[in-house]
Amino acid sequence: MKLDTIFKILLLITIIFTTHQIWPLYELIKQISNGTVLFCIKEEFHKLYIFFCLYNLKEDIEIFSTNTNVAPKPRYFVFFVLSGFVTYIVKFILNKISTRIGERLIPKRKWSPYIRGIKLGRFNVMFFNLIYFSLISVFGFISLKDQVYFPAEMGGQGETSAYFLGYPNQKISNLIHIYYFMNGGYLLTSVCSLLKSEKLPDFYENFLQHFCAMILVYFSYSHNFIKVGAIIMLCHDICEVFSSACRVFVDTRYKFITVSSFCILFLSWGYLRLYIFAKNCILPIHKNYNMFSSLIRVETFIWLIFLLLVILLMNVYWFVLMGKMFIHFVTSGKTEDILTRVTEIEEKERNIEMKNK
């Protein structure tokens, strides 16, 4: 079975599972049979209008600016959209700058114009990611460092047992709300960019990871799982700093920066995205189910754990790929980004050239 086929199957299962949580099949059949399906659709659109309406925007901004601790509300979802809009504009401006930088740094004769265009496009994405995740990781750490649930393994003094104390009536730091909004907005723009860009060999694995992450962000905010959700975000954000740095310079002559970033990435990935993510995020959610079992159905809880395990599986997959990258570097002395799987396109190009000859 091809690798893409596995990702397609996982993505299909995830979409079906998620759709079933939003609109269970037995409820849909019941609504069709009693003729209320159109009314229910209208009600759902009305809810979306309330969630993303700008009517209370001024009042909501005042709430976050005057209160240090705020309880999440569905109407705050509008801030995710606004954050995504701002992220898109900043990304558009930075892409203009990074294109010029990439044109100078990426060799012109080493690859065909098509392959070099792909590498330049990836350079633009990673250039933005490097700046974004560097800033958001610092902001996330500052927002979380004094919280009673910030794990000692990450530099805090808290305990993971505090994740669900007083659930669901928990008020969260306004800074952590902003941290959530910014990451949620980033994910929106990333998913949109993936869908409209050329479908490269790594499309399905990237889309699967982004889709799961986006669903988890919005689910965790709506169900006030923000404390553990913020820890999950920070684990992934920190690793993205070094992943982006490594992939910005991988096709340039700055091999020392590439190798240094990769070494830090490999260590931080194993520690944060595998060990901390599993031990301090997934396990506490599973162990503390009794604290929120009366508010969340067993089926919904299974779906939540499934999404988390999919992301953990993707982290393991990329960790293995990074191990292969390291072995490739040791044996050949060449730095190469096999995560993007551009080599597969290069091989196809060579095969076509061979056939034409």
59-63, 206-210, 338-342: least confidently modelled range: 338-342
Residue 73 lies in a domain: no
Residue predicted with more confidence, 226 or 344: 226
Rounded to an integer, the average pLDDT of 60-74 is 87
Confidence of residue 282 (pLDDT cuts 50, 70, 90): very high
Q: Give the domain range for residue 95.
A: 82-356
Tally of structural domains, the chain: 1
| Sole residue written with tokens 């290069």 | 346
Residue 20 lies in a domain: no
- Would you say the C-alpha torsion 18, 23, 26, 28 has a positive or negative sign? negative
Residue 161 lies in a domain: yes
Q: What is the 3-state secondary structure (H, E, C) of the chain?
A: CCHHHHHHHHHHHHHHHHHHHHCCHHHHHHHHHHCCHHHHHHHHHHHHHHHCCCCCHHHHHHHHHHCCEECCCHHHHHHHHHHHHHHHHHHHHHHHHHHHHHHHHCCCCCCCHHHHHHHHHHHHHHHHHHHHHHHHHHHHHHHHCCCCCCEHHHCCCECHHHCCCCCCCCCEEHHHHHHHHHHHHHHHHHHHHHHHCCCCCCHHHHHHHHHHHHHHHHHHHHCCCHHHHHHHHHHHHHHHHHHHHHHHHCCCCCHHHHHHHHHHHHHHHHHHHHHHHHHHHHHHHHHCHHHCCCCCCHHHHHHHHHHHHHHHHHHHHHHHHHHHHHHHHHHHCCCCCCCCCHHHHHHHHHHHHHHHC
Contact 134, 243 (CB under 8 A): no
Mean pLDDT of the chain: 86
Residue 171 lies in a domain: yes
Pairwise CA distance, residues 132 & 231, whole Å: 18
Looking at the predicted structure, is the pLDDT value of residue 312 above 90? yes
Looking at the predicted structure, is the pLDDT value of residue 6 above 70? yes
Contact 272, 239 (CB under 8 A): yes
Residue 158 lies in a domain: yes
Looking at the predicted structure, is the pLDDT value of residue 349 above 80? no
Residue 165 lies in a domain: yes
Looking at the predicted structure, is the pLDDT value of residue 318 above 60? yes
| Sole residue written with tokens 């960790």 | 319
Instruction: Name the phi and psi angles at 158, rounded to 5.
Output: -100, 180
Confidence of residue 47 (pLDDT cuts 50, 70, 90): low
Looking at the predicted structure, is the pLDDT value of residue 178 above 90? yes
Residue 60 lies in a domain: no
Per-range mean pLDDT, top range of 228-232, 336-340, 350-354: 228-232
Residue 99 lies in a domain: yes
- The predicted-structure confidence for 114-156, as pLDDT tens digits, reads as follows 888 888 999 999 999 999 999 999 999 999 999 999 999 999 8
Rounded to an integer, the average pLDDT of 219-247 is 95
pLDDT of residue 111: 79
Looking at the predicted structure, is the pLDDT value of residue 37 above 80? no
Confidence of residue 16 (pLDDT cuts 50, 70, 90): confident
Per-range mean pLDDT, top range of 15-24, 232-241, 296-305, 313-322: 232-241
pLDDT of residue 60: 84
Q: How many other CB atoms sit within 10 Å of the CB of residue 153?
A: 13
